[in-house]
Amino acid sequence: MDAQQGSQGEPAGGGELSERERAVLGVERRSWGAAGAKERAIRERLGISPTRYYQLLNALLDDPRALAHDPVTVNRLRRRREAQRRGRTA
C-alpha cells in the first residue's frame, strides 16, 4: 500500500491519483462490446462492486487530479453526466 493511500487504496490527501483511481479511469477509457463485460471487469480487475465503482468514478469526475491525469476521458464523462442530469429535470 502506498504511503498516501488509505486502507481502500484511496488517497489520504492531495498529490497524485491512487492506483485504484487510475484503474477506474482506465476502465472508462475502454469500449465495452458484450453485455456485462464491463461489470465483470470491474469485479475481476478492481475487486469492487459496480455500485462502488460508479461512486468512485462520480467522485473522480469532480477531482482536478483526475482531470489533469486524463482530460479526454474526464471531460467526456462530465458531459455525459451533465446531459443525464438535464434529461432528468426536463
The pLDDT assigned to 12 comes to: 43
In a domain, 12, yes or no: no
Cβ contacts of residue 53 below 8 Å, gap of 6+? 24, 27, 42, 46
Cβ contacts of residue 45 below 8 Å, gap of 6+? 23, 27
Which range marks the domain in which residue 42 is found?
Answer: 19-25+32-89
Closest CA to 60 of 85, 16, 25, 14: 25
In a domain, 13, yes or no: no
Q: Residue 30 and residue 39: Cα distance in Å, rounded?
A: 13
In a domain, 10, yes or no: no
Domain count, the chain: 1
Which residue ranges in the chain fall short of pLDDT 50? 1-12
Give yes or no for a contact between 29 and 45, defined as CB atoms under 8 angstroms apart: no
The pLDDT assigned to 3 comes to: 37
Q: What is the pTM of this model?
A: 0.76
